[in-house]
Amino acid sequence: MSSDVTPTATPVKTTGLHIGYAEPGCRKVDPILVADGVKRTFGGLTAVDVQHVEVPRGAITALIGPNGAGKTTFFNLLTGFDKPDEGSWEFDGRSLAHIPAYRVARMGLIRTFQLTKSLGLLSVLDNMKLGAKGQTGENLFRAILPFLWRSQDKEIEAKAEDILARFKLDTKKEDYAASLSGGQRKLLEMARALMSDPTLVMLDEPMAGVNPALTQSLLDHILDLKTQGMTVLFVEHDMHMVRHIADWVIVMAEGKVVAEGDPHTVMANPAVIDAYLGSHHDSDLGAEDPEHEHVLKELLDDQQ
């Protein structure tokens, strides 16, 4: 583990992830997460309707798409926070259907949230220690006998301090998490996810609300996850970031996967531009979501 993350100008991209032509639902050489026919409707609205999608192991995969494309719903379905109407999906060869969220997390699939969920009135260190798996002292009856869990707690604390130092939060460890800035809370949430040694980290908009000074550091941490052998799947709107760090991009629109491929190819794909344009084709131009406008400009710039 590197104790200090140095900014890498050009991250090493993992290539050769897929088998055959890079089309929606294409097969991967070594998939870690496979979803088949996952469908979720809210009343008359079909939020997610994914035929088939595979997430490659040991790579950074970005999930992009316009607002309302069903990215977060898809995240919730995969992690057990929501139940699909139909479909099957498996993680590391084990089916995740009907498995509650906490058991999914114990299997090594840890997620973060779009709206950061740092536990405000717990100290930063307690936030971290909560992330560790298999703690003896978390059993009510063993909890009253400190000698049963004290030594394990010390080990967890040492590990937490090590990770906090990497994320440059070690000076804040005694503070309440509520006193951290928005960007620091994102860092804390990501650091906390690492406490359980996950195999797949799912980040829901890790950059939302993070000031530009922290962005580079967050990016480096995400790249660092890959070098440590973890798989990353993240939802993001910032196309610069996606192009910079993603090895593979999956594009969703109106609940479906509409394109897949490496970042540069995907962003030149007309289907992707359609996805962003199409979602607003009947609305007034003045009401255009500025975020989408920005993304579109970037996509169109790419084509020239």
Partner 1 sequence: MIDWGAIFSNAAQELISPTTAAYALAALGLAIHFGYTGLLNFGQAGFMALGAYGYAISTLTFHFPVWAAVLVGVGASVVFALILGIPTLRLRADYLAIVTIAAAEILRLLFTTNTFDSVTGSATGLQGYKGGFAALNPFTFEGTVGFGPWQYNAYDWWIRLVGWIVVILAAVFTWLIMRAPWGRVIKGIREDEDAVRALGKNVYSYKMQSLILGGVFGTLAGMIFVLPRAVVPANYQTSLTFFIYAILLLGGAATILGPIVGSMVFWVLLSFFSGFIARAVAAGWLPFMSQVQAGQLRFILVGVAIMLIVIFRPQGILGNKKELAFVK
Examine residue 157 and tell whether it contacts partner 1 (CB under 8 A).
no
Taking CB under 8 A as the binding criterion, the range among 82-90, 129-137, 231-239, 260-268 that sits at the site for partner 1 is: 129-137
The Cα diameter of the chain in Å comes to 67
Q: Pairing state of beta strands 200-204 and 109-111?
A: parallel
Report the residue from 71, 172, 185, 192 that binds partner 1 according to the rule CB under 8 A: 192
Examine residue 208 and tell whether it contacts partner 1 (CB under 8 A).
no
Say what angle helices 182-194 and 146-166 make with each other, to 10 degrees.
130
CB of 55 within 8 A of CB of 31?
Answer: yes
180 CA to centre of own chain: 21
What's the min distance (Å) between Cβ of 225 and partner 1? 16
What's the min distance (Å) between Cβ of 205 and partner 1? 15
Burial of 213 (0-12, 13-18, 19+ CB in 10 A): exposed
CB of 130 within 8 A of CB of 117?
Answer: no
Contacts of 278 (CB under 8 A, 6+ apart): 253
What's the min distance (Å) between Cβ of 143 and partner 1? 4
Examine residue 113 and tell whether it contacts partner 1 (CB under 8 A).
yes
CA distance 120 to 189: 12
Q: Which is nearer to partner 1, 131 or 183 (CB)?
A: 131
What's the min distance (Å) between Cβ of 235 and partner 1? 15
Examine residue 216 and tell whether it contacts partner 1 (CB under 8 A).
no
Taking CB under 8 A as the binding criterion, the range among 26-34, 38-46, 85-93, 146-154 that sits at the site for partner 1 is: 146-154
Residues of span 92-111 touching partner 1 by CB under 8 A: 100-103, 105-106, 110-111
Q: Which is nearer to partner 1, 28 or 192 (CB)?
A: 192
**Of 247, 250, 266, nearest to 13 (Cα)?**
247
Examine residue 186 and tell whether it contacts partner 1 (CB under 8 A).
no
Q: Which is nearer to partner 1, 149 or 215 (CB)?
A: 149
CB of 63 within 8 A of CB of 234?
Answer: yes
Examine residue 185 and tell whether it contacts partner 1 (CB under 8 A).
no
Contacts of 250 (CB under 8 A, 6+ apart): 53, 55, 61, 62, 63, 64, 257, 259, 260
Q: Which residue has the tokens 């006193």?
A: 179
What's the min distance (Å) between Cβ of 300 and partner 1? 37
Examine residue 118 and tell whether it contacts partner 1 (CB under 8 A).
yes
Q: Kindly report the backbone phi and psi dihedral angles of residue 134, in degrees, each rounded to the nearest multiple of 5, phi listed first.
A: 55, 45
What's the min distance (Å) between Cβ of 268 and partner 1? 35
Burial 229-257 (b: 16+ CB within 10 A, else e): ebbbbbbbbbbebbbbbbbbbbbbbbbbb
Query: How many residues of this chain bind partner 1 (CB under 8 A)?
Result: 43
Q: Which is nearer to partner 1, 152 or 217 (CB)?
A: 152
Residues of span 2-41 touching partner 1 by CB under 8 A: none
- Which residues contact partner 1 by CB under 8 A? 79, 81, 100-103, 105-106, 110-113, 117-122, 126-127, 129-131, 133, 135-140, 143-144, 146, 149, 153, 176, 178-179, 189, 192-193, 195-196
